[in-house]
């Protein structure tokens, strides 16, 4: 942990606050993108998911041309690797790229972050799905050629702006919003674990109180409005419930985890992203199952794991490995998941023993409890 000197020369542990500089959300705000970008640069480069470019290309061109005629649009498709990011940078015209705008899902935004990191430029996030809180974060995921998470990159600062058009979000397949809810719901319990133990945040410092406060509020919104938001968004409607849940998933969850810390729920994703059947599912589905494992591991009487299971079931998130297409998991498969989780960077961000045998026992308990619910 870093240390700084206070006003009288006494060393003290430093804690840091991280958040995007600006957050804009609402129906139709995509068409304001150009005016939001222009204060940050005169020759922006827009890194956009190729499929999104086909759907929103005309609107993107109109808003960017009106405010920044010298902009460049780069449609991307493919893995988030250092090599691929370098090829995108090589496509940028000379003199362009004083600000990088990412438009699309998680891969497009992470590629845009990687470009911004290489160029040392500010980055603006424009998510077209609400599948996780990555759009607000400085961190981005990088993978190897086999599709395995290899490292976490980090921008010097969080995005200069995050622009969330809720009409676009509501028009996306509902599994993305469901995934976002699974990812966001865990943040309350992960921040709580990190603070109660000796954990640190992704910034390498002890958590600030604001992380737990925001993560707790995020959870309350999701439990209150989540089911209604899923129903409304499935019908393509932008309702107060959808607005509240999208804000919770993208903004509150992001502030909660960057300032509160991650724990076992996210550790579980290390194995699930490569497991039999489970690898085909979105990050938030992995985190939702991981949350149940964390609750079983910590066995805190103040937490009603049954309530969490009921909520996850109601919105179509997994409560057992079979829901992630790992039917009849073998003892070896469960052990592989536990080994990966115990080796993950956030495994020490809890107050209980998070060794492989303990995580195996927690997974087995989750499977047993889910079987009882089904029975």
What is the CATH number for 292?
1.20.1090.10
Let me know if residue 12 belongs to a domain. no
The domain that holds 82 is classified in CATH as: 3.40.50.1970
Length of the chain in residues, anyone?
A: 375
List residues forming the annotated binding site for NAD(+). Answer: 49, 106-110, 128-131, 143
pLDDT, tens digit, 9 for 90 and up, residues 262-283: 999 999 999 999 999 999 999 9
Answer yes or no: do 185 and 163 share one domain.
no
Percent of the chain having pLDDT more than 70?
96
> Could you tell me which of 306, 315, 325, 313 has the C-alpha nearest to residue 369?
306
pLDDT, tens digit, 9 for 90 and up, residues 329-371: 999 999 999 999 999 989 999 999 999 999 999 999 999 999 7
When pLDDT is cut at 50, 70 and 90, the band that residue 78 belongs to is confident
Q: Which of 135, 170, 205 is the last residue of a domain?
A: 170
Overall domain count for the chain:
2
pLDDT of residue 375: 52
Let me know if residue 94 belongs to a domain. yes
257 and 132 in contact (C-beta within 8 Å)? no
263 and 211 in contact (C-beta within 8 Å)? no
Answer yes or no: do 166 and 286 share one domain.
no
Let me know if residue 3 belongs to a domain. no
Let me know if residue 357 belongs to a domain. yes
Let me know if residue 204 belongs to a domain. yes
pLDDT, tens digit, 9 for 90 and up, residues 123-167: 999 999 999 999 999 999 998 887 777 888 999 999 999 999 999
232 and 242 in contact (C-beta within 8 Å)? yes
Answer yes or no: do 323 and 364 share one domain.
yes
Answer yes or no: do 117 and 202 share one domain.
no
Answer yes or no: do 278 and 193 share one domain.
yes
List residues forming the annotated binding site. Answer: 49, 106-110, 128-131, 133, 143, 183, 266, 283
Let me know if residue 366 belongs to a domain. yes
Mean of pLDDT values over 75-82: 93
Residue 196 has pLDDT above 70, yes or no: yes
Let me know if residue 2 belongs to a domain. no
Mean of pLDDT values over 100-110: 97
Give 76's strand partners: 49
List residues forming the annotated binding site for glycerol. Answer: 133, 183, 266, 283
Answer yes or no: do 192 and 286 share one domain.
yes
pTM: 0.94
Whole-angstrom Cα distance, residue 342 to residue 362? 12
Residue 314's φ and ψ, nearest 5 degrees, are -65, -30
Query: How far is the CA of 216 from the CAs of 187, 209, 254, in angstroms?
Result: 8, 11, 12
Range of the domain at 135: 23-170
pLDDT of residue 1: 40
Whole-angstrom Cα distance, residue 302 to residue 193? 13
Q: Which of 122, 140, 170 is the last residue of a domain?
A: 170
Q: Which of 124, 139, 170 is the last residue of a domain?
A: 170
Let me know if residue 185 belongs to a domain. yes
Answer yes or no: do 196 and 274 share one domain.
yes
Answer yes or no: do 101 and 225 share one domain.
no
């Amino acid at each position: 942990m870093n240390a700084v000197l206070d006003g009288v020369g006494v060393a003290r542990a430093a804690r840091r606050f991280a958040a995007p500089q600006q957050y804009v959300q609402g129906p139709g705000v995509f068409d304001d993108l150009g005016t939001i970008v222009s204060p940050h640069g005169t020759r922006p480069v827009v890194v956009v998911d190729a499929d999104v470019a086909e759907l929103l290309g005309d609107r993107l061109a109109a808003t960017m041309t009106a405010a920044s005629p010298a902009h460049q649009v780069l449609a991307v498709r493919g893995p988030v690797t250092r090599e691929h990011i370098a090829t995108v940078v090589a496509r940028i015209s000379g003199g362009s790229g004083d600000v990088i705008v990412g438009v699309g899902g998680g891969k497009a935004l992470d590629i845009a972050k990687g470009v911004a990191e290489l160029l040392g430029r500010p980055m603006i996030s424009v998510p077209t799905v609400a599948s996780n809180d990555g759009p607000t974060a400085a961190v981005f995921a990088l993978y190897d050629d086999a599709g395995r998470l290899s490292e976490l990159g980090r921008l010097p600062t969080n995005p200069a702006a995050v622009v969330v058009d809720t009409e676009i979000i509501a028009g996306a397949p509902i599994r993305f919003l469901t995934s976002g809810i699974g990812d966001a719901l865990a943040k309350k319990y992960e921040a709580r674990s990190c603070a109660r133990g000796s954990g640190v945040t992704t910034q390498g410092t002890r958590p600030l109180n604001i992380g737990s406060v925001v993560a707790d509020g995020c959870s309350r919104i999701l439990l209150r409005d989540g089911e209604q938001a899923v129903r409304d968004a499935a019908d393509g409607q932008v309702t107060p419930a959808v607005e509240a849940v999208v804000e919770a998933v993208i903004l509150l969850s992001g502030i909660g985890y960057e300032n509160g810390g991650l724990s076992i729920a996210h550790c579980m994703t290390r194995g699930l992203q490569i497991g039999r059947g489970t690898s085909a599912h979105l990050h938030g589905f992995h985190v939702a199952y991981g949350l149940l494992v964390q609750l079983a591991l910590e066995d805190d009487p103040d937490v009603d794991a049954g309530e969490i299971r009921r909520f996850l079931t109601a919105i179509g998130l997994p409560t057992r490995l079979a829901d992630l297409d790992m039917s009849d998991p073998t003892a070896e498969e469960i052990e592989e998941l536990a080994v990966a989780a115990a080796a993950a960077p956030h495994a020490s961000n809890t107050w209980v023993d998070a060794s492989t045998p303990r995580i195996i026992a927690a997974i087995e308990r989750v499977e047993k409890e889910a079987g009882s619910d089904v029975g």
